[in-house]
Amino acid sequence: MDENGTAEPPGVSFVMPVLNERAYLEHAVASVLEQDVSGPMELVLALGPSTDGTTELAESLAAAEPRVRIVHNPAAHIPVGLNAAIRASRYPIVIRVDAHSELSSGYAHRAIDTLARTGSANVGGVMRADGRTPFQSAVARAYNSPVGLGGGAYHSGTHEGPAESAYLGVMRRAVLDEVGLFDESVRRGEDWELNLRIRRAGHTVWFDPALAVTYWPRESWIRLARQFRATGAWRGELVRRYPRGNGIRYFAPPALVLVVALAIVIAVLQLTGVLHGIAGLIASLIYLPLLVYIVLVVAMAAAPGRRGDPPRSLRERIWTLAVLPTMHLSWGVGFVAGVLRGARDTVDASRLGTRNTPLP
């Protein structure tokens, strides 16, 4: 309360894990500092051992802006860095942000209002992927489509309400303390796992489609494949840990992997004459789901962009033909390995030793 007995607006702590993000960090930090919040605010960067000049850039940003502070994350793991930043922060509302993302204008103000209006423990909005090259634009289109990432609310949802998880998240510190912060043994999918514990503790996770965050996907094919393989492996690990908490959409990519593997085996048996006649004809039915999938990928590559978007280039359309199978098969292969043997020490190698092109 102030001297007039009026409740003071809550302070806000933004927490951001950072590793090899020189091309994106300055824009991400600026989008945070430009947020209109009524109370005091701070941004805590959890700085991993970067090799691309990110450390020097982060230190210069902190030196120039008293609201920016740095904690070190020598392990380089996202949940470890997030917990370090949360423990070093001071305010009752914690907003997770990402160096590969940029908050829309008014994001924090709207999210805090939604948090109060709904009484929820965590609020998230839409991950609005964008790209600045034909490849990155193709990846962004896949992110924004139910075909690409399975239709999770924060990728393509339009209706406000309770949700399974929240992208990034605007959270009550009291609830984080109650459930025990992020699980540092989970290297990918840490948001989903935290939100599962929040919901099991009797709290609500809320999706508000009016909240939007711009996300910049990986910039190369190999980095995309590495990212999705690691993400799939950790989803497989989470299925092992929480077998009843996973939606059916998580099993589509591994099903595709199994169908492709079976189709290859059947094709070899047919070509060598081992499988023929009625048995061979029946076995050929395995090709039907693959044909449907190929038609779906081609249709997405040929489809026009969203209303108001610039026209899609031919290179972006061609990249779409490679991006969708890469995402699905890499994720599916990782998932199968994660289920069978656990994720173990799998890390997202796409974040290590990167060379990014600076944003315009």
pLDDT in tens, 20-31: 999 889 999 999
Amino acid at 11: G
25-48 average pLDDT score:
94
Residue 160 bridge partners (DSSP): none
Integer Cα distance of 229 and 119 in angstroms: 36
Predicted confidence (pLDDT) at residue 355 exceeds the cutoff of 50: no
pLDDT of residue 358: 39
pLDDT of residue 95: 97
pLDDT of residue 357: 40
269-287 average pLDDT score:
92
Name residues whose C-beta falls within 8 Å of residue 254's C-beta, 6 or more positions apart in sequence.
Answer: 232, 236, 332, 335, 336, 339
Interhelix angle 221-241/252-271, rounded to 10 degrees, is 110
> CA quadruple 114, 215, 229, 252: dihedral positive or negative?
positive
pLDDT of residue 2: 46
pLDDT tens, position by position, 210-224: 998 999 898 899 999
Contact 157, 80 (CB under 8 A): no
pLDDT of residue 354: 47
Counted residue by residue, the chain has a size of: 360
Closest CA to 18 of 83, 78, 60: 78
pLDDT of residue 150: 64
Look up the pTM and report it. Answer: 0.86
Integer Cα distance of 72 and 76 in angstroms: 9
Tell me the two tokens of residue 64.
Answer: 């120039």
pLDDT band at residue 348 under the 50/70/90 scheme: confident
Task: Give the start-to-end residue ranges of the domains of the chain.
Answer: 12-220, 248-351
In this structure, which CATH number among 3.30.420.40, 3.30.420.270, 3.90.550.10, 1.10.357.10 belongs to the domain 12-220?
3.90.550.10
Region class of 168: left (phi > 0), else alpha (psi between -120 and 50), else beta: left
For the chain, percent of residues with pLDDT exceeding 70: 92
Tell me the two tokens of residue 164.
Answer: 């399974």
Integer Cα distance of 44 and 150 in angstroms: 32
Q: Is 271 exposed, middle or buried (0-12, 13-18, 19+ CB in 10 A)?
A: exposed
DSSP three-state, residue 70: strand
DSSP code of 182?
-
pLDDT tens, position by position, 296-310: 999 999 988 776 667
pLDDT of residue 353: 54
Contact 137, 215 (CB under 8 A): no
Helix locations, 217-303, DSSP H: 221-241, 252-271, 277-283, 287-302
Residue 46 bridge partners (DSSP): 17, 71
Dmax (CA) for the chain in angstroms is: 89
Tell me the two tokens of residue 58.
Answer: 């982060």
> CA quadruple 265, 270, 272, 275: dihedral positive or negative?
positive
Count CB-CB contacts under 10 A for residue 152.
Answer: 19
Ranges 33-37, 84-88, 270-274, most confident: 84-88
Integer Cα distance of 204 and 196 in angstroms: 10
